[in-house]
Structure 1
Amino acid sequence: MTGKAEALQELLQSARTERINALAELEVLEIKIREVRERAAALTIDEETLRDLHRRWFPGPDDDDHHVENGNPVVAVGGDDWAAMTRSAAVERAIMMMNASRPTVSPGDIEDFLAKAGRSDTRDEIGGVTAYLNRTGKIHSQGRGKWVYGPDPERVRHLISLGEEAIESLPRASWEATT
């Protein structure tokens, strides 16, 4: 072979090697793109699930049933008959409404709130209900006598990792109709 032919052969081999390397790099990038798309789809599902859970546990400020003025919940908005509610539904709703303006709620806070709503639940009765609501995942504790509406965030993260069936096992509010 002549010098020109050898040089052309080397250029051809170099171009072929670069093309093969580029195709391999493209294949790796396509795999990464697929992985990122799958991750984005999973995160979209997680976001929608969390948005639904948030709406379920913490209704928006325009919802008449959960109205707060000057940092204090307005009791019996929208014709709610607090006296007709079961004790657990009244305590659960009171905790949810008070959590709109304060991070945690004590049994004394609940007792005062329910008294303003026209109920006469004792602190012992409220304590029994908070234990039940905590056990069923409708509220969780952030220390002794410090209640927060909704299940423990760690439990929610664990259930999300298990999938949609586990998420559906999360409790609904006592007053919320189930279908």
Structure 2
Amino acid sequence: MNLNESDMKTQEPRLWISDGWTARVVKNEDDDGWAVAMTANGASEPALVGPWTMGRDKKNPKPLDQSAFLTLVKTAREFVRRSEQQLHATLHQSLEVAAGAGRVRVYLDIEPDDENPSATLTARDEGDEGDEGDDLLAQVKVSPAFKLSRASAVAWVESGYAKP
């Protein structure tokens, strides 16, 4: 029988591996307490590190158990999900501005890349009532450091979509 990483299970007082996650109780380097690090299988860094409860002797950590592990997994998954949502929101921004008698939606899409990051500014017609809109009005490459704000979007639209 061939076991993959998700099938591995370890249930020790300071190390719990199950459900694609590893919980490791470690000495907190900042004080005399303990911390728990939650790492997804295959990840090099923990997704979440938080304080861990002292045991009854007030010296050693409380042992991990099934209930605590499941709570930690839920918390770590939620933290990862929120981090991914925040990253997506940072990389893909949009806002709507007035343009003449209509509305224009301006998008900033950033492609992160360690060696060659890029960004694109796009304007689409929002259309009037009864009109489908969403026509591409302009698209230009901008610096990945470009800050999309209401003022920068209005300035770009009013300039006739000249490269900012």
The TM-score with structure 2 as length reference comes to 0.28
Higher helix share: 1
Structure possessing the higher relative contact order (Cα contacts under 8 Å, 6 or more residues apart): 1
Higher Rg of the two aligned structures: 1
TM-score normalised by structure 1 residue count: 0.26
